[in-house]
Amino acid sequence: MGGEYGTEANEEHRASMHGGKFRHIYVESRVLGLERTERMLARFPEAEVIEIRHYKDIFNRRRQDPAVQHKSQNLIIAAKEGRLVYPGAPVCQSFGNAHFFYTSCVMNCVFDCEYCYLKGMYPSGNLVIFVNLEDIFKEIRGLLSQFPVYLCVSYDTDLMAVEGLTGYVEEWARFVRDNPGLSIEVRTKSPRLCTEAIREAAPEDGRVIYALTLSPDEVIHSCEHGTGTLEGRLRAAQSFMDAGFPVRLCFDPMIYMPGWEEVYGRMIRRASEMIDFSRVRDFSVGSFRISETYLKPMRRVLPRAAVVQYPFELTGGYYHYPAALADRMELFMEYEIRLRAEDAEIFRWEE
C-alpha cells in the first residue's frame, strides 16, 4: 500500500494499521456501476463492498472517533450534492487572487497529520471520494463566465496521495487546459513524482500550480503520519519543476518545538540543496493556526498529541502561537528564503 500513496516515511504507522487501508468500501447505490466507481473497486478486489444510500449514513454517524478510524481507514464512494465550490477560507492564503475558491472532490486524507483541521471539522476519519466530477466542473464553468477563478482542489485532502487510485489530478489538469481563466493549486505532502499523464494533460501556461508543503523530518516523524519524507517531497517538487509546472513551496504550517530554529534551519538548507530556489514560483510561510471551532474536537480525539495541546492564544476566532513567537518563526523562515532567493515572492498569512 505504500506505493499506492507514494509514501516513504512512517513505515511503522502504516504497518500498525489494522490490515491496511480500505478493507471496507461503502458505495452509494446511485454510483454503482459508474466507470470511476468500478475502476476504484477493481483496485481492491479483497475489500468488502457495502451498498449504502447516502455517504452521510457512514460519514455522519454519532460519536465516531476519527483518530481510531484513521488507523484503519475505510473508503466511501459517493456523489456530491448541493453547493460544490466554496469561497476560500480566511485562514488560508489567497496568493493575491481576487476570486479565490476551493472544492472538495475528496473528503479527508489518507495521510494522518495530528494537527490537521480535518480532525476537528469532519466527524469521521474515513475517506470519501466523489465520482461526479462533471457536476463540479459545471459549477466552475458558471463562475468562469463571470470572472477568472483561482481554485484550490486539494484542500480537504491530498489529491496527489491518491492519484494512483483516482487520477483526479490528471483530470483537473485537463479541465484547466480546456478552460482559460481557471488556475488551480494542487497542494500535497506526497512524494509522488509527476507522471507523464499529468504533464500531457496540463496546459503549458502555468495555470496548474503544484504546491508542496515542506516540514522538517522531526515534525514529519512526530506528527505527519504516513506522509513523504522531506527528501521524498523535494524530489517530487523537482520532478514537477522539470515537467514545466510552476512550483510553490509552502512552509506552512510551521510547528513550534524547542529548538525550532535549528530544526527549520536544517530543513531549509536541505531544501535549497535539492531545489533551485530561484526557479520556485513563490513561497508560502505561516505558523500553525486553527479555527476555534476545530481545536476543541481535535483536542478531544487527540488528548496526547502535543502539537494540538500547545497552549495557543485566541484572537478573532482563531488559535495561534503567541504573536511574538509566530512573528519570530515566520520572519526567520522569510529571512532564510531570501538568503537563497533574494527576489522570492513570499506570501505570509495576515489576519
Q: x/- string (CB under 8 A) for other proteins, residues 101-120?
A: -------------x------
Question: Does 52 interact with other proteins (rule: CB under 8 A)?
Answer: yes
Question: Does 305 interact with other proteins (rule: CB under 8 A)?
Answer: yes
Among 1, 11, 15, 32, binds other proteins (CB under 8 A): 32
Question: Does 49 interact with other proteins (rule: CB under 8 A)?
Answer: yes
Cα 146 → chain centroid: 28
Question: Does 71 interact with other proteins (rule: CB under 8 A)?
Answer: yes
Calpha distance 125→133 (Å, rounded):
22
Among 9, 27, 162, 169, binds other proteins (CB under 8 A): 27
Which residues, 6+ apart, have CB-to-CB distance to 14 below 8 Å?
A: 1, 2, 7, 226
Q: Contact 106/162 with Cβ under 8 angstroms?
A: yes
Calpha distance 87→103 (Å, rounded):
9
Calpha distance 185→125 (Å, rounded):
24
Q: Using the rule CB under 8 A, give the single segment among 146-154, 163-171, 286-294, 300-308 that binds other proteins.
A: 300-308
Question: Does 79 interact with other proteins (rule: CB under 8 A)?
Answer: no
Among 1, 15, 50, 314, binds other proteins (CB under 8 A): 50
Binding residues with other proteins: total (CB under 8 A): 58
Among 11, 15, 39, 68, binds other proteins (CB under 8 A): 68
* Residues constituting the chain: 351
Calpha distance 129→34 (Å, rounded):
13
- The strand ranges marked E within the chain are 24-28, 48-52, 75-78, 85-87, 100-103, 106-107, 112-113, 127-130, 149-152, 182-188, 208-213, 224-225, 247-254, 282-287, 289-291, 313-315, 318-320, 346-348
Q: Using the rule CB under 8 A, give the single segment among 134-142, 181-189, 307-315, 342-350 that binds other proteins.
A: 307-315
Question: Does 336 interact with other proteins (rule: CB under 8 A)?
Answer: no
Task: Report the nearest approach of other proteins to the CB of residue 244 (Å).
Answer: 36
Among 83, 145, 324, 342, binds other proteins (CB under 8 A): 324
Calpha distance 75→70 (Å, rounded):
11
Lookup: cell for 121: 471539522
Task: Report the nearest approach of other proteins to the CB of residue 312 (Å).
Answer: 9
Q: Using the rule CB under 8 A, give the single segment among 54-62, 139-147, 156-164, 169-177 that binds other proteins.
A: 54-62
* DSSP character string of 51-72: EES-THHHHT-TT--HHHHHTT
Question: Does 23 interact with other proteins (rule: CB under 8 A)?
Answer: yes
Which residues of the chain form contacts with other proteins (CB under 8 A)? 18-19, 23-24, 26-27, 29, 32, 48-53, 57-58, 61-65, 67-69, 71-72, 74, 114, 217-219, 221-223, 256-260, 262-263, 301-306, 309-311, 321-325, 327-328, 331
